[in-house]
């Protein structure tokens, strides 16, 4: 039942998201210059713990920048970077990165089979849906729903994010999925918290590695 409800939520999110006005990629190139220190030239981060931004969906990137600025997504480095960005700046930067080509990584050959199985088919027995259902068979994402582009993403970054989602989706015993609101009350978990809470370290590492090697 939980598996079915999750796909209902996916479908609702896909159709209910309004379109965002496009930014100016040319203006965004200059505005994104400071970002290269962590995210690399053209958004292809060479530091494995930082995300590649090249080829990422424009609406998704704007949403992340907005969340960093509002504090909805907590990161001290990014909070400082976005503090003086206007909405137009965010849209321009997002438009620039959306037009760049991501450089695929190299998946670990020992993990490819398990990673591909999880990405394309999930693990029904453990309520883990296929990643491809939201992120596409080639990892292209669904930008209208703000589902991120995954293909070529740094494996370590993806692994770290999945473990953070898992921690947020479990209680201290590591079994019951919860999410606490700002006032401490229990709320329904987010989609990725729900999924990652069911994943083992091995599964997370395998699917992160597979994603790194994905390319269109």
The percentage of the chain sitting over the pLDDT mark of 70, rounded to a whole number, equals 81
pLDDT over 80 (residue 87): yes
Q: For residue 188, what pLDDT is reported?
A: 53
pLDDT over 80 (residue 9): no
pLDDT in tens, 43-82: 999 999 999 999 999 999 999 999 999 999 999 999 999 9
Q: What confidence tier does 189 reach under pLDDT thresholds 50, 70, 90? A: low
Q: For residues 8 and 10, what is the distance between their CA atoms, to the nearest angstrom?
A: 5
| 102, 211 contact by CB (below 8 A) | no
Same fold yes or no, 2-13+105-213 and 18-98: yes
13 burial type by CB count under 10 A (0-12 exposed, 13-18 middle, 19+ buried): middle
| 53, 43 contact by CB (below 8 A) | yes
Q: Could you tell me the pTM of the whole model?
A: 0.83
- Nearest 5 degrees, angle CA 42-CA 48-CA 53? 30
Location of structure tokens 């931004």: 53
Query: What number does CATH give the domain 2-13+105-213?
Result: 1.10.760.10
| 17, 9 contact by CB (below 8 A) | no
Location of structure tokens 């997002």: 94
21 burial type by CB count under 10 A (0-12 exposed, 13-18 middle, 19+ buried): exposed
- List the chain domain ranges: 2-13+105-213, 18-98
Question: What is the fold of 18-98?
Answer: Cytochrome Bc1 Complex; Chain D, domain 2 (1.10.760)
């Amino acid at each position: 039942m939980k598996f079915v409800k999750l796909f209902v939520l996916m479908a609702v999110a896909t159709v209910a998201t309004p379109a965002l006005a496009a930014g100016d990629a040319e203006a965004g190139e200059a505005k994104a210059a400071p970002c290269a220190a962590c995210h690399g030239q053209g958004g292809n981060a060479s530091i494995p713990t930082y995300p590649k931004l090249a080829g990422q969906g424009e609406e998704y990137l704007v949403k992340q920048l907005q969340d960093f600025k509002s504090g909805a997504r907590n990161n001290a480095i990014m909070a400082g970077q976005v503090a003086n960005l206007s909405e137009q700046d965010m849209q321009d930067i997002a438009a620039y990165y959306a037009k760049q080509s991501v450089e695929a990584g190299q998946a670990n050959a020992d993990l490819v089979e398990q990673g591909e199985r999880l990405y394309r088919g999930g693990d029904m027995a453990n309520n883990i849906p296929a990643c491809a259902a939201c992120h596409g068979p080639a990892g292209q994402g669904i930008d209208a729903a703000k589902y991120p582009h995954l293909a070529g993403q740094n494996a370590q970054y993806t692994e770290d994010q999945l473990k953070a989602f898992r921690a947020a989706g479990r209680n201290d015993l590591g079994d019951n999925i919860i999410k606490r609101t700002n006032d401490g009350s229990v709320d329904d978990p987010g989609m990725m918290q729900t999924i990652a809470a069911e994943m083992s370290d091995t599964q997370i590492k395998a699917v992160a590695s597979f994603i790194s090697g994905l390319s269109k």
